[in-house]
Chain A
Amino acid sequence: MKVALKIWRYDSATGDRALKEYEIDAPDWATLLDCLDIVKDRHDGSLSFRKSCRMMICGSCGMRMDGAAVLACKTRMYDIAQAGRVPVISAMGNLPILKDLVVDMDPFWSKFKAMWPWLEPGYDRPEDGREYRISQQRMNVVHKESLCINCGCCVSECNAMESDPEFLGPQALAKGMRFVGDPRDAATVERLERYNSEHGVWDCTRCYFCNERCPKGVDPRDAIAKLGAESIRLGIDRDMGAKHAKWFVRSSETTGWLREEELIPKTQGYVSAIKQLKFGYSLAKHGKVRPVPIPHTAKDVNEARNLRKLVREQDRGGALGHVQGEHALAKLEHGHAGESLEEIYARPGAAPRPWLPEVEEEPSA
């Protein structure tokens, strides 16, 4: 197939930047990475990009295609080429570009390292010198986080990091959750205190771009939500973000509706709320909030209260609850209808049913 690509070239030594177009012949099965290889081999040896495993596990080839982060090795080009699209390939966002599609990963790794990214087992070692005894269900809490390949696609797309480059970011926070959720780790409180500081858990703007762009299903935003839930469960709730979240719950279980007038004092404190009266007045003037709140209780408040009761009684307030919900959703999303094996074998165009041949004498290897 013919594939056309536009690639943002950049040379940090000279500062030259240019969008160059390449047209190549590629096999139908080619991925974006294969196409870049062809460009480098046959058209321009000076094109630089990282690559290694070409099977979505090493995390080297994160880059942007048409402005969205992808793993080049996971991106099949057939449909794009057939549609006549000429995608623009550029380096990942939120990280300094060194050359062409190669970014400086140092800021990425320094945030990673700021998470204490190792197990802190404390003194609680297995007595028999063997492994810790942990149920699979308990380990499932960190399943998605442990899929992370550090490719940087989430960081590339992070809106919060774009406005605050010091924000720890989706990858580092997901790594943090990988330890907070691990029953072998004895430093949960210290970790959460650290992750709750400025540029931490509550600075995420919840745009969900990280979830959308992660090529491995880590869902970093969900990991951040789990860190938030665990923080509140353990009483680490000084941050305005935590207070904000708590007020939502409190408000919905008491009256069943969101009492916005109380949101600011409950989140930011009364002094701050008084300072914002002028802003509140302006909101009221434009009809954004009612000037005088009318106290009432929502008709179906019991539903909210029962739900809250269930979460509390079953101890699903922290990360475990999130994970159970995720598992339930995942089952719906795997795209299989639970057919029987007979039904699968009988599908149109199915491969032949397996059978065992009769063998008379034993052959040798």
Chain B
Amino acid sequence: MIAKHDVLVVGAGCAGMRAAIEAFDAGADVAMISKIHPTRSHSGAAEGGINAALGNASEDNPEIHAYDTVKGSDYLGDQDAIEILCEEAPADVYQLENWGAVFSRTEDGRIAQRPFGAAGAPRTAYAADITGHVLVQVLWEQVCKRDIPTYEEYFAWQLVENDGRCQGVVCWDLLEGGLKTIGAKTVILATGGAGRLYTGTTNAYSCTGDGMSMALRAGLGLKDMEMMQFHPTTLAPTGVLITEGCRGEGAFLLNKDGERFLKRYAPNTMELASRDVISRAEQMEIDAGRGVDGNVLLDLRHLGAERIIERLPGSRELAMTFLGVDPIYDPIPVRPGAHYHMGGVATDVWGQTELTGLYAAGECACVSVHGANRLGGNALMETITFGKRAGSHAAEWALSHTTVDVPDSVERDAERDLTALLERTDGERPWSIRDELASSMHENFGVFRRERQMEQQGKVVAGLRDRYQRVVVEDKGEVFNTDLTQAIELDFLLDLAECMVVAGIERKESRGAHARPDDYPVRDDENFLQHTIVHLVDGSPQLSWEPVRMTKWQPQERKY
């Protein structure tokens, strides 16, 4: 053990940094671990904005925000958590602004808000189309101000569980090499999503579900893992994100004939329906042969050059760089791409997991505020509000408990596993397994799901798991060995794919992101108004169900 802290935050994106700041301000000795520098975190790639009922653009209140979120979740969201999020959101956003976040402004100098999908009011506070970047910067600034220690480029690998508590993390030091164990009274997982499970994803290379997998292996339950959101506007071929803010500003979605096809799917809200609805509509247009090379068209032309340059400069830059398309003159070809994991480590409204001393916040957690479908702008808000709550609770717990005990055997066991991996010289390199996993998930567990394909995917993943047992790390060096860390990341991803398939097959209905057009095309509240929970039992995933926490909203038919 090289150090110990009261609170150790794993991951330093929006949720991790917000948690660390809160724990620090509560008086705890807090540190962060991150496999990349905090400002490189994928929170920074969030574009469109952050939802809070500030009422700056029109009449709004937290209750409407909560209702929109419940409905958006296709009634799978836990309503107590949603109410907390929407109540606390405004003050949390003002806090960010007071810290210096560079939000765009209204005419009267307030934080500007724009319309977003499935929202009853223009509620999405934004900084042009780089909102995530601006929030990561302001949180990093506050971390610097507090001088919170950060173990940068430390790759978290295993949770230390001892005496029925989580008491630290075993890491690989990327810069210098070697396993390093850091002890802690409480650990907060804030490791983000796992979009790298798919070929076409908006997610960064670093989004490999590390925290979810570490928790799973520590015996914890992962909740609603089948719920992977597909974002309707991503660029072919790799899935670079074009913000929902484009549609918030008024962009159209067209098929190859120029038809605004959403009139046939979501006649009231059109391009501002929820993401699951639009992704399905796009996929149906593409499957019916009305796409353009596997895409539909995101048309910004009528917004005019000035508005595009002022409000959506980042999207224009992405389209121009990666496709050579200037949205002032030509529509951007877009298609659905894996974007956000609604599922994750099951927590309560304070971020506590089943394991004492272990917390989770942000995308790696499932509180659940997003249920079966997340609304655009709610993810950044969740990272801030629930990051803060986890940080506060973890600090309080740590300050009232004293000991940290990490048995030597923990590091010895990890060392043995690592040596086995590094010393293997004969076998397959990880990249082909990784690529096959991503393309097969895309094929068999995408926007639409079919029993046969999901079962097939279960076999594919099992086969890839077998091949992984003989995986070879070519780089044997100590310094910046990403060949090693990428192999471990693939191991994490394989765990999660297994859980998703198991949960997906058993959810025999269509709800939010989980659409089964062939066998179970409608929502079945009688049987499935429940969360899936997957535990690892003797190395294989076991499914159980847990009721949705309801407060005041009963399920209704969901139309946009």
Contact = CB atoms under 8 A, between A and B. Distances in A.
Interface string B210-233: 000000000000000000000000
A303 B40 CA distance: 49
A74 interface: yes
Contacts of B341: none
Contact of A364 (B41, B54, B559): B559
Nearest to B474: A45
Contact of B328 (A112, A182, A344): A344
B321 A365 contact: no
Nearest to B108: A133
B431 A41 contact: yes
Interface string B100-121: 1011110011111000000000
A351 B258 contact: yes
A11, A29, A45 interface centre (most CB from chain B within 10 Å) = A45
A48 B321 contact: no
A119 B141 CA distance: 8
Interface in B467-487: 473-483
A46 B240 contact: no
B299 interface: yes
Given A118-B141, A354-B260, A102 B474 contact: no
A45 B329 contact: no
Given A118-B142, A363-B264, A48 B94 contact: no
A136 B105 contact: yes
B429 A356 contact: no
Contacts of B266: 365
Nearest to B236: A29
Contact of A365 (B429, B480, B560): B560
Nearest to B259: A357
Given A55-B318, A352-B258, A50 B299 contact: no
B40 A52 contact: yes
B401 interface: no
Contact of B257 (A40, A53, A109, A352): A352
A58 B40 contact: yes
A235 interface: no
A45 B309 CA distance: 41
B64 interface: no
Contacts of B297: 351
A359 interface: yes
B479 A12 contact: yes
Contacts of B41: 58
Nearest to A353: B258
A56 B315 CA distance: 11
Given A53-B44, A56-B318, A345 B301 contact: yes
A144 to B, nearest CB: 11
B40 A60 contact: yes
Nearest to A145: B102
Nearest to A182: B100
A98 B103 CA distance: 37
B40 A48 contact: no
Interface residues of A, number: 80
Interface stretch (A17-25, A122-130, A192-200): A122-130
Interface in B220-259: 237-238, 240-241, 252, 254, 256-259
A149 interface: yes
A293 to B, nearest CB: 49
A48 B174 CA distance: 11
Given A102-B480, A363-B264, A364-B559, A27 B100 contact: no
A150 B140 CA distance: 12
Contact of A52 (B133, B206, B237): B206
Contacts of A100: 480
Contacts of B475: 45-46, 48
A285 to B, nearest CB: 54
A142 interface: yes
B258 A11 contact: no
Contact of A48 (B205, B237, B481): B481
Given A53-B44, A130-B94, A359-B267, A45 B483 contact: yes
B42 A58 contact: yes
B480 A98 contact: yes
Nearest to A142: B102
A326 interface: no
Interface in B36-69: 36-37, 39-42, 44-45, 54
B331 interface: yes
A59 B330 contact: no
Interface in B319-345: 321-322, 326, 328-331
Interface in A74-114: 74, 76, 98-100, 102, 105, 109, 112-113
A133 B108 CA distance: 7
A171 to B, nearest CB: 12
B155 interface: no
A143 B104 CA distance: 10
A134 interface: yes
B264 A359 contact: yes
A351 B332 CA distance: 10
B258 to A, nearest CB: 3
Contacts of A109: 37
Contacts of B479: 11-13, 48, 98-99
Contacts of B301: 341, 344-345
Contacts of B330: 350-351
Contacts of B141: 117-119
Contacts of A353: 258
Contacts of A288: none
A338 interface: yes
Nearest to B292: A351
Contacts of A50: 36, 40
B482 A356 contact: no
B503 interface: no
Contact of A118 (B145, B259, B260, B560): B145
A54 B204 contact: yes
Closest 3 CB pairs of A and B: A45-B474, A352-B258, A119-B100
Interface of A: 11-13, 27, 29, 40-42, 44-46, 48-60, 74, 76, 98-100, 102, 105, 109, 112-113, 117-119, 121, 125-126, 129-136, 139, 142-143, 146-147, 149-150, 179, 182, 184-185, 334-336, 338, 341, 344-345, 347, 350-357, 359, 362-365
24 contacts: A45-B475, A46-B483, A48-B475, A48-B479, A52-B206, A53-B42, A55-B45, A55-B240, A58-B45, A59-B39, A117-B141, A118-B145, A121-B98, A130-B94, A135-B105, A184-B100, A341-B304, A351-B299, A351-B331, A352-B256, A354-B302, A357-B260, A365-B266, A365-B559
Given A57-B314, A131-B103, 14 more contacts: A45-B473, A52-B205, A53-B42, A55-B318, A56-B318, A56-B321, A58-B36, A76-B322, A132-B97, A132-B98, A146-B137, A344-B329, A354-B252, A357-B263
